[in-house]
Structure 1
Amino acid sequence: MEIINAMDRKVEIVYPCEWKYKVIGHRKEEILEAVKSVMGERPHTCTFSKTSKKGSYYSYEVKTIVHNEDDRTEIFRQLKTHNDLRMVL
């Protein structure tokens, strides 16, 4: 759950919580394998989102439970640095 603190507009995240990552890449199979290699045995879902207008890129939504900020940012870092993923949001 996210709560916006009106005093400084900083987002507070209450852990554990479900977190979503948007991953984008060139080939569907490579995207799915990249997500699988990063997530390992961690329970998650990876759902197709859309294809770019020219059909060059595919996006997927990855959902999982994160237990703290370090957990959340480490998953993001691993996804972002994976060679088969072009962008992570």
Structure 2
Amino acid sequence: MNEKISPKSLKGCKPEIHYPCVWQYKIIGMKRQTVQAALSEKLGDAPYSLSESRTSKQGKYISLNLELTVHNEEQRLYLYSALTADPSIKLVL
């Protein structure tokens, strides 16, 4: 039986994540140097990798892939919140 799952039926469902785990954030900003400085400030000496993903057609925006190990949900959500609050970072996915 193939039932369609509606987005409404998924409301309130949380993915099952087993910690610690490697987590990826997509970071979108305007200047690589200011985004990197923000990441260094927020992440401190935690090991992470950063790779370029894309640049907008006119070169105004860059997107970077940030990958690091998160040890629990609180840390994962804190990092998301801290990154989105930084003015040099326009969007975090």
Q: Do they superpose with TM above 0.5?
A: yes
**In the aligned structure 2, how far is the partner of 1:85 from the partner of 1:16?**
25
Describe the SS at the equivalent of 1:73. helix
| Change beyond 3 A, Cα 1:73–1:10 | closer
1:30 is aligned to 34
Q: Aligned-pair distance for 1:73?
A: 0.3
Count of matched residue pairs: 82
Q: What is the root-mean-square deviation of aligned Cα atoms in Å?
A: 1.2
1:61 is aligned to 65
Instruction: Write the mapping of 1:77-88 to structure 2, written as runs, cut at 5 A.
Output: 77-88=81-92
List, as ranges, runs of 4+ consecutive aligned residues in structure 1 with deviation greater than 4 Å.
none
Unpaired stretches in structure 2, ≥5 consecutive residues: 1-9
Greater per-residue strand proportion = 1
Unpaired stretches in structure 1, ≥5 consecutive residues: 1-7
1:13 is aligned to 17
Greater per-residue helix proportion = 2
